[in-house]
Chain A
Amino acid sequence: MSDGPAIETRGLSKDFGGGRGLFDLDLEVARGEVFGFLGPNGAGKSTTMRLLLDLIRPTAGAATVLGLDIRAHSLQIRRRVGFLAGDFGLYPRLTGAAVLDYLAELRGGVDRARRDALAERFDADLHRPIRELSTGNRQKLGLIQAFMHDPDLLILDEPIAGLDPLVQQSFHALLAEVSAAGGTIFLSSHTLSEVERVTHRLAILREGRLVVVDSLENLRRVAVQRLEIEFAGPVSTEGFAALPGVREVTRAGSTLTVAFEGSADAVVKAAAAHEVRSIRSREDDLEEIFLRYYRGGAGS
C-alpha cells in the first residue's frame, strides 16, 4: 500500500455555471488523519465529496483517493471507502435491517457481527420501516452502512445532522477508534462545534474556493483577543484605538473593551497609565473566527 496522502486534489473544479460549484481545489488529507471540511451551505463541500466518489465528474483538475485516480480507478476506491451522503434516501417501505442486508450484499465481505455491533452502539432500530423513522434514526442507518466494512477511508457529509447528543458522543468515540487504528476520516460540517473535538486539521470553503487549511491550534493563535479593563474613572477610547494591533475599542461607563490581534503588551502598558481596578481577558469564540472566514472577513 502506498504511503501517499489519503486524499489529494489538484486544481479540482466543478463549474455548475452562475458562479456555483467548486473552483481550483488543492487539498491534501494525510492517512490516519481526521480532517474537517467546513463551510456554509452551498460552499462546495458536498460537491467535493461527490467528485471524489465519481458521482459527478470534474470540469477541470484531478484527484486521487488512497493513491488511486478518482476517474480511472473509482471502483477500487469505492471498495475501500465508506461514504455517508449528505441528503441520502433509503427504501421507505423496507426495514433498516433489510436495507443494510441489501447494502452489505452489494458491497460483499461485510461482517454481520460488525454491523450488529454498530447498530447496538448507535441504539439503531433496525426492525421498523424506514418511513416510520425520525431523521436521526435514519442518519444512524447511514452511519452504520458507512462504517460496517471497516473502510480505509470514511467520507462523511454532515454526519452529525439530526443525531442527539448521546449518539453524537458515540459517534465521536467511534471516530477516535477508527483514527487510532489508522483509518482516515474526511468529514464535513457547517458548524465548527460539531467537529472541533475530533478533527486534527480542517479546511474552510467559501463560495467554492478554499479559504484556509490549518490546525485548530494555529487558527486559535490568530484569533482576536479582547481585554475588558475596568478603570477607577472614565477613560477616553482614543489613546487605545491608535495602538498597534487594536481593531476596536468600546466603552461602557468606566470599562473599556479593547479587541486586538497579536501581543497584549501595548494595550497593557497604555492601561497602566491609569488606575486599573480589574482586567479580564477573553478570546474570540472559535465560532466567531469561523463566521469571519465564512463572511469573507479573514484569510482571503
Chain B
Amino acid sequence: MTIAPLKMALRLRLAFTASAAAGLIAVLLAVGALFPAVGHTIGKLSLPQGVSQLLGGADYASVAGWFRSEIGSVYGPLLVGAVAIGAATSTTAGEEEDRILALVLAYPITRARLVGAKAVAVAVLVVAIAASAWLGLLVGVAFAGGGMSAGNLAAYAVHLAFFGFALGAIALAAGAGTGRRSLATGVAAAVGILGWLINGFAPLVGGLDWLKYLSPFYYYAGHDPLTRGVDVVGLVVLGAAALALTAVAMLSFERRDLRG
C-alpha cells in the first residue's frame, strides 16, 4: 500500500524531472565542447574573493575548474534543488492545498508512511538528476579534452545527490509540517540560496568563518569533490540532516490537523 503513493509521486514529477535531466546532460555536453575553444582564453578570472568563491574558484583555465565553475557552483545545485523542492512541496503541501489529501488520508495509510513514500520519491528523483549529472560530466569532460577521473566525477554526483536530499528534506519538513506550499518552497529555496552566499562570503569576514558550517553548500562543495573525490564527513552531515528532517516531517504531519 505504501508503494502506491511512491509510484504516484514519481509519475506526477516524471515529466519535469526527465526534462531537467535531459537539459542538464545537454548543457554539460555543450559546456564540455566549449572548453577547448574558450577555456584557455578566459583563464582564471581576477574577481573579488567572495565572488570567485561563489563561482567555484572561477578558474576557467583547467577542465576541472571550468566544470566546477560552470556546473558545480550554480547550475547543478540549482537544478537538483528545483527538482527536490518542487517534488517535496507539491506532493505534500501542494496535495493538501489542492484537497487531494482530504480524500487520500481517509484511506488506510498512516501519515508517517505517506510522508515516507513521498520522501523516497524525492530521493529517487534526486538520484536520477545526480546520475544524469555524472553521465553528462563523463561525456562533457571527454569533449573538453579529458583529464578528470571518472571516480571524482562520480564523487561530485554523489555530493550533488546528498545536497538534493538535504534541500528536499527541508522542503518536506516545511511542507508536511505547515501544509503551505509557497511557504515550504520559500523556506527551502532560502536555505539553499543563503547557504550559497554564506559559503561564499562568510570565510572573508573574520569571526564569521564558522557560519559556513551551517550551510549545506559547504558540505556539498567545500571539499571540492570534482578534484578531491568524496568527503565522507560532508556526506554524513547532509545525509543525517536529510534523515532527521524527514523524521520531523513525519512526526509534525502525524500530529497536526489536516488543513481545509
| Chain A contacts to B: CB under 8 angstroms | 50, 53-57, 75-76, 78-79, 81, 83, 85, 87-91, 93, 102-103, 105-108, 142, 145
Contacts and interface: CB of A to CB of B under 8 A. Distances in A.
Given A50-B258, A106-B1, A78 B107 contact: yes
A88 B99 contact: yes
Contact of A88 (B1, B3, B7, B103): B103
Given A56-B257, A102-B4, A102-B8, A85 B108 contact: no
Contacts, number: 70
Given A55-B257, A108-B1, A89 B8 contact: no
Interface in B84-118: 95, 98-100, 102-110
Contacts of A91: 8, 12, 100
A54 B109 CA distance: 12
A102 B257 CA distance: 24
B-side binding surface: helix, strand, loop or mixed? loop
B206 interface: no
B260 interface: yes
A240 B257 CA distance: 56
Interface of B: 1, 3-5, 7-8, 12, 95, 98-100, 102-110, 257-258, 260
B102 A89 contact: yes
A106 B257 contact: no
Instruction: Give 7 closest A-B pairs by Cβ, nearest first.
Output: A83-B106, A89-B99, A56-B257, A105-B4, A89-B98, A85-B102, A79-B108
Contacts of B104: 103, 106
B258 A56 contact: yes
A91 B105 CA distance: 15
Contacts of A107: 1, 107-108
Contacts of A108: 1, 108
Nearest to A75: B108
A107 to B, nearest CB: 5
Among A78, A85, A93, A142, the most chain B Cβ lie within 10 Å of the Cβ of A85
A83 B1 CA distance: 18
Contacts of B258: 50, 55-56
B67 to A, nearest CB: 36
Given A53-B105, A88-B99, 17 more contacts: A54-B105, A55-B106, A55-B258, A78-B106, A81-B106, A85-B103, A85-B106, A87-B260, A89-B100, A90-B103, A91-B12, A91-B100, A102-B8, A103-B103, A106-B1, A106-B109, A107-B108
Among A55, A75, A79, the most chain B Cβ lie within 10 Å of the Cβ of A55
Contacts of A102: 4, 7-8
Nearest to A49: B106
A90 B12 CA distance: 12
B103 A89 contact: yes
A106 B100 contact: no
A102 B4 CA distance: 6
B97 to A, nearest CB: 9
Given A55-B258, A87-B260, A103 B100 contact: no
Contacts of A83: 103, 106
Contacts of A106: 1, 4-5, 104, 107-109
Given A55-B258, A106-B107, A87 B100 contact: no
Among B5, B95, B107, B260, the most chain A Cβ lie within 10 Å of the Cβ of B107
B100 A90 contact: yes
23 contacts: A53-B105, A53-B106, A55-B102, A55-B105, A55-B106, A55-B257, A55-B258, A75-B108, A78-B106, A79-B108, A81-B106, A87-B102, A88-B102, A89-B99, A89-B102, A90-B100, A103-B103, A106-B107, A106-B108, A107-B1, A107-B108, A108-B1, A145-B103
A142 B108 contact: no
A6 to B, nearest CB: 16
B1 A105 contact: yes
